[in-house]
Structure 1
Amino acid sequence: MKLMRKKSLLLALSCLWLVLFPAKGAVFQGCLYLLPLLVVVYRDTRKLFWEHAGHFAVLSGCFALPLLISELRAVVFFGRPFSDGAFEAFWRLAVVPLVLVTVCRYCRCTARQLLIALVGVGIFYGLAGLSGVFFEMVPVLRSFGARAAGFVSNPNPFGFLMAVTCLVALFLVMTARHNRELVFAVVGGGVGFAGLLVSGSRSALLAWCVALVVMVVLGWRHCPVFSLSKRTMVCGGVVVLLLVAIVVALPSCYVDLIHHRMAHVAQGDIRLTIWSRYLERFVEHPVLGVPICCDHKIQINGQGFGPHNMYLSVLVQSGIVGAGALISGLLWLIRKTALNCRERTVVVPMALLLCFYCFFNSSFFGNEMTQGVFALVVVLSLHRINELTG
């Protein structure tokens, strides 16, 4: 009974983390710190956690240590106040993912359960965002018109969540084991695709297209059910018809919004100006970089802008050393996924979607949406194949 109570508590906190990471909030913050504390307190889970000490060193060294060094340099040599960015990167990109790996191993969660749960979360947030489109509620307003976001604070992270949801749902459609799972996955794919379009997020849409191509290629090579069977062709046809129907059903203003934003991906995009200005700053501190404080952001028309590019942000803040560590960490994670993960057909595209999206938008650092998806990729990548099955 005591063992069941432990598992129930850990699963409940993990589920709360999964449900709330897109919207943040006080409960999410509580789960973020209470869950690791319980894993360390319980002897069984503590032993499982320390089996991943090597992974912990890699994640910390690649994603948190360069930022910490840069912060210390800024305090010592530039007289700037120390921020909590390095601690947040350490906690959310090294500690929390491995805590979730530990909980999944301890509670014997399967890869398919994790993927289905992720699609369920995406459906919930997607329906909240779509409600502002089809039921004339007030959506989030942005410069090119109304862009849906629902409970998420910004349309771009919302679009990213919808892209991940749609990608995973399409995988579940093509590999469904029974009719209920097939119907659930079709609904998830439709909601995810519709949410992706009404978010108006170009970076999420482009990243989804790249990830979809990679998933099809990997599926054709590694997943037998992706072959040209009658069932696969029927499922594929249903999904295509559903996606076309969603585009037709969208209000004309959203179709115009998508067309306008995609037609101006490069021409007149303020990101190009931002990137060029931050590259000039990188040249001044190329090796170890310098932190980007609120009062040191690039000013354009009186407004401060961050780099809008994770790799450029790390390059500016941590220099060549930090950028090299980040890229090494990402390559290590993708390799782990390709070698260890039973569901590599969808998890590798998830990782690439995350990497591509962050090239145009939010970083792993200070953004709960990308941190959450990163943690799930780590969970699916580091679990042994014979443990994470189903």
Structure 2
Amino acid sequence: MSELWPAPRPHDPVDRVVSLPGSKSLTNRALVLAALADGPSVVRRPLRSRDTLLMVGALTALGTEVHDTSGPGSGDWAVSPAPWDRDADVDCGLAGTVMRFVPPIAGLARGTVRFDGDPHMRQRPVGPMLAALGALGVRVDDGGRGALPFAVAGTGSVPGGTVTIDASASSQFVSALLLAGARYEHGVDVRHVGKPVPSLPHIEMTVQMLRRHGVEVDDGDANRWAVSPGPVRAVDHDIEPDLSNAAPFLALAAATGGRVTVTDWPSSTTQPGDELREILTLMGCEVALGDNGLTVVGPPRLSGVDLDLHDVGELTPAVAALCALADSPSHLRGVAHIRGHETDRIAALAAELGRLGADVTEREDGLTIRPAPLHGGTFRTYADHRMAHAGVILGLAVDDVLVEDIATTSKTFPDFAGAWSRAVGAAPSGVGASS
């Protein structure tokens, strides 16, 4: 078993101001668009985590130049497009954005690009997108598995055109095709068939960023997104804080009846994490967005909720942990797709919350959680950063919670354990939780 980390428990309401690292979703999209652009650009205040460094590694393997502006490992990223005229090996690690965003642009390279990743990544869904690439004229060799490892034989151009795909397993299938589409000869016209696409805010994020780069996108019809062929203008990006990573820090206020302010919370954003404002309000918190950021004040007792989290599935682990601390039942639904994330998050949450005494019923598309006495014990994370968030949230109200492999949080938040310890009480009010 991986190393166990004692989750710190505060015994008084907290009062903290925290600043968070940048958004992984925004950083990796900005990097891909910078690599496709018609000139150099800068990604400012990027997230530097395992997922984003894997994206940098993938793009530089293809031939893109990415440089730190303030010395190795610091500052912004200056990105200069360069000819993609080589064979390459891409390590996807556990980064779904690398596994899904890079193959569509690898078709524009001149060479064979081989993809593989951590053992668990070979179980994550990618087959529908690889099939779509084949229909658009990209040569893909996946041995018929529809999963890692696979190879893309790039010819320097991709015909593109209209393609039908079932993106009900991941919105990243759509975003991946849209990001590359402007560089295809005929653009790309993506049409979804099947169950509803999850995490639609992430597709809206992709569309908004493409338009900033001067790319024409038609999203006027439901389940259809069309990108016209043309140049991708070089644009500098300022990366917002990762609002999904804010979930445990705002939960710190909710679970302790305290106050937490997350600085630099955007007044308008496409990040799904912004839905935390409504979710926490429904659970009884006071939530206010002001000049200093987003402030949450926790209630004396948390209320259970009935939520469809289909569009914000990544928040499910943190919300489920708070529901286990609530004084009335909760029903979380609409998230069958999170069974295909870093782990089967529905099954994992049912198992680990139940291990610590929670009364949990696993549903096909979610969880029902009823009030029950909780106790300490080991909370397994399955190499999933969001599961680690759930574990530390439980530790806010339960003694002796031991979180397995807290280091898995480095996927999107370097030194999360240190930042969390300081925020919980090992540092004075005003502590920064940034990397």
TM-score, structure 2 normalization: 0.24
TM-score, structure 1 normalization: 0.26
Higher helix share: 1
